[in-house]
């Protein structure tokens, strides 16, 4: 048999072996898959070249010659391989670049199989059948441009990785791969491509054998430098080498057998100073008993395989204490026998500082809160106890003002009447503020007691309407009541419930310039629900959170020019909650406001 035919077969078998060897290392890795496709396609070409050279007749040689011209497949796989190796493709680029690689491959392959553009007919030489010389054409030149372009780009990409790779292993891998590709390309050019040029040399094409060299270099890089395979052994070694935490391997006797670099850096020891010593050399004297207790518990109890988050103070070679959060795990052999223990420790000095600072902050905050609570309690108790002393003088001023205004003790001129009217009005306003302040303080101090009774709701609402009638008639507003039914009773404190209605209704009237107010009443299984809606100025969303706060008023010209203290709604909310109900509102600026509050149907609380 022709020696050159055997060389083609030999090259094909070697390429297939190398591809299978690499693929078996990691069958899921995309680079391994591309490499075996590269090798397998060259294997097919090698078999085809062997079949052509060893053919007994023209027809057989012609068939295998057509198959052997499908060089575009391994070159495409090679270029794809170089892109993946250099991490050049993201998911979007793959959708664009990969069709640009494989669509021309398919087109050129179809032309090679069904036309004479690349292989007109094989010819018989002394070394056997060989490829015929194709005629020069645009498509043929385009094919060679595409073919050599992919090879040169592949070499360029791999070489760039050699100079740019930050990982030392990957740089070495790139070096071997690029050397193999350069040698193969040069040999292919010498033994195959020159046959097509004006220089006619009578020698057999050795392209398959030349690319066997590149497969050898690539597979060597993969095997020698763990190129495209990821396994737990190599990953674990890298993790241990780069682990920033302390890692110590001890035998069942407690002797140190191995440490990582982080341990040596942390405790300022040389490895030789720790090997075969017990771990106690690294632990503060007063903490050794705690460590030994945990160690013996781990060793002696079969059911315990690991311990975690043990805080122990270690000590460096120069005596500096380092707080360590220690974890320990057993290492067993295949028979379940204890072979050693891995200690992993993290320096928690910073965490300790943060915890200490946090404790100090919490302690100070607690002192501040206690002081605030004491001050608030003192204020509430003071105001509550001063109820009589504050109200009595104001009532006296109002009473004497009434007597003088009645002119029972003599006639008053116009100015005197005006002054007395202002005194009475201001006194009543001040008394209202004092009453609300005292009520809020009593609620805070837990001293405001409600007197619950069964109240005829119809009578209560009519009484409230009579009270506020002068207010809404003066502003020419309408006032409607909806849902009020005769002979309905509500369980509440009559005085405080009137106050709730008066505060909400008078507030609605105060901030409504046209239109009116509607009081809607609804009874549910569990409570009475009251809606008070107006067509007033409304509330901006930015002011929602201050509505129920003491001494807070909306910042608008209309509100500022309207008398008020900002206590009415705050007190109203507290009184509603004291009844066991709740209060809320919805509003839109310029379109009015709806307040909704509930009072339970039956409240057995007697606060």
Identify the CA nearest to 533 among candidates 600, 485, 591, 576: 591
Cα–Cα distance for residue pair 101/157, rounded to 1 Å: 15
Enclosing H/E stretch for 8: helix 3-25
Predicted local distance difference test score (pLDDT) of residue 122: 83
CA 60 vs. chain centroid, Å, equals 65
Q: Which residues contact 469 (CB under 8 A, 6 or more apart)?
A: 479
Query: Could you give the 3-state DSSP secondary structure of residue 376?
Result: helix
Identify the CA nearest to 65 among candidates 14, 124, 149, 16: 124
Predicted local distance difference test score (pLDDT) of residue 607: 39
Predicted local distance difference test score (pLDDT) of residue 456: 93
Cα–Cα distance for residue pair 29/292, rounded to 1 Å: 46
Running DSSP on this structure, what letter comes out for residue 525?
A: S
Q: Which residues contact 122 (CB under 8 A, 6 or more apart)?
A: 52, 58, 61, 62, 65, 129, 130, 131, 132
Strands 123-125 and 489-492: what pairing?
unpaired
Q: How many CA atoms lie within 13 A of 126 on its CB side?
A: 2
Q: Is residue 159 within 8 Å of residue 174, measured between CB atoms?
A: yes
Dihedral (CA of 254, 260, 264, 266) sign: negative
Identify the CA nearest to 536 among candidates 575, 564, 505: 505
Q: What is the pLDDT of residues 109-144, one digit of tens each?
A: 888 888 888 777 888 877 678 777 777 788 888 888
Strands 592-600 and 583-588: what pairing?
antiparallel
Cα–Cα distance for residue pair 527/153, rounded to 1 Å: 82
Predicted local distance difference test score (pLDDT) of residue 389: 65
Predicted local distance difference test score (pLDDT) of residue 378: 67
Dihedral (CA of 415, 420, 426, 428) sign: negative
Predicted local distance difference test score (pLDDT) of residue 605: 44
Cα–Cα distance for residue pair 199/124, rounded to 1 Å: 19
Split the chain (607 residues) into runs of 10 and give each run's mean pLDDT.
Answer: 77 86 79 87 87 86 86 88 77 72 89 82 78 79 87 88 76 84 78 53 66 81 57 55 82 89 90 91 90 86 86 91 91 82 90 86 83 68 61 75 79 83 79 73 71 91 90 92 91 90 91 92 92 92 82 60 67 90 91 94 54
Predicted local distance difference test score (pLDDT) of residue 490: 93
Q: Which two tokens stand for residue 264?
A: 């040596």
Predicted local distance difference test score (pLDDT) of residue 585: 93
Q: What is the pTM of this model?
A: 0.39
Predicted local distance difference test score (pLDDT) of residue 277: 92
């Amino acid at each position: 048999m022709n020696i050159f035919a055997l060389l083609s077969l030999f090259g094909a078998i070697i390429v297939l072996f190398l591809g299978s060897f690499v693929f078996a290392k990691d069958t899921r890795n995309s680079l391994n898959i591309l490499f075996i496709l590269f090798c397998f396609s060259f294997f097919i070409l090698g078999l085809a070249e062997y079949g052509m050279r060893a053919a007994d007749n023209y027809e057989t040689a012609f068939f295998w010659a057509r198959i052997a011209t499908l060089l575009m497949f391994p070159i495409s796989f090679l270029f794809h391989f170089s892109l993946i190796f250099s991490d050049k493709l993201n998911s979007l680029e793959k959708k664009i670049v990969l069709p640009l690689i494989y669509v021309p491959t398919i087109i050129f392959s179809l032309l090679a199989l069904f036309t004479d553009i690349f292989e007109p007919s094989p010819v018989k030489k002394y070394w056997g059948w060989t490829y015929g010389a194709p005629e020069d054409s645009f498509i043929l030149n385009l094919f060679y441009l595409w073919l050599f372009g992919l090879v040169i780009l592949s070499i360029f990409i791999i070489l760039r990785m050699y100079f740019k790779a930050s990982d030392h292993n990957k740089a070495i891998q790139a070096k071997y791969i690029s050397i193999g590709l350069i040698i193969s390309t040069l040999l292919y050019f010498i033994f195959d491509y020159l046959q097509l040029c004006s220089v006619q040399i009578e020698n057999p094409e050795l392209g398959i054998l030349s690319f066997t060299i590149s497969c050898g270099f690539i597979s060597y890089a993969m095997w020698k430098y763990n190129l495209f395979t990821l396994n737990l052994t190599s990953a674990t070694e890298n993790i241990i080498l780069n682990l920033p935490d302390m890692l110590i391997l001890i035998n069942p006797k407690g002797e140190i057998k191995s440490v990582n670099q982080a341990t040596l850096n942390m405790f300022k020891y040389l490895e030789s100073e720790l090997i075969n010593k017990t771990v106690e050399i690294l632990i503060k004297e007063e903490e050794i008993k705690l460590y030994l207790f945990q160690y013996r518990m781990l060793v002696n109890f079969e059911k315990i395989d690991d311990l975690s988050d043990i805080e122990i103070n270690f000590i460096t070679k120069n005596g500096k204490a380092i707080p360590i959060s220690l974890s320990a795990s057993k290492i067993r052999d295949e028979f379940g026998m204890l072979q050693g223990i891995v200690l992993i420790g993290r320096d928690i000095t910073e965490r300790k500082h943060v915890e200490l600072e946090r404790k100090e902050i919490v302690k100070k905050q607690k002192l501040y809160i206690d002081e605030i609570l004491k001050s608030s309690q003192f204020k509430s108790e003071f105001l509550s106890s001063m109820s009589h002393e504050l109200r009595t003088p104001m009532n006296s001023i109002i009473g004497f003002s009434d007597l003088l205004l009645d002119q029972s003790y003599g006639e008053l001129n116009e100015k005197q009447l005006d002054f007395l009217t202002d005194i009475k009005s201001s006194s009543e306003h001040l008394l209202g503020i004092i009453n609300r302040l005292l009520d809020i303080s009593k609620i805070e101090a837990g001293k405001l007691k409600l007197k619950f009774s069964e109240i005829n709701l119809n009578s209560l609402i009519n009484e409230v309407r009579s009270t506020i009638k002068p207010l809404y008639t003066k502003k020419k507003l309408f006032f409607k009541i909806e849902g009020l039914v005769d002979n309905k009773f509500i369980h509440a404190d009559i005085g405080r419930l009137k106050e709730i209605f008066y505060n909400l209704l008078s507030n609605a009237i105060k901030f409504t310039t046209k239109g009116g107010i509607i009081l809607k009443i609804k009874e549910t299984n569990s409570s009475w629900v009251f809606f008070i809606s107006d067509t007033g100025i409304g509330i901006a969303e930015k002011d929602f959170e201050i509505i129920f706060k003491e001494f807070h008023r909306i910042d608008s010209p209309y509100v500022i020019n309207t008398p008020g203290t900002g206590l009415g709604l705050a007190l109203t909310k507290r009184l509603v909650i004291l009844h066991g109900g709740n209060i809320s509102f919805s509003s839109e600026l310029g379109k009015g406001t709806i307040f909704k509050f509930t009072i339970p149907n039956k409240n057995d609380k007697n606060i």
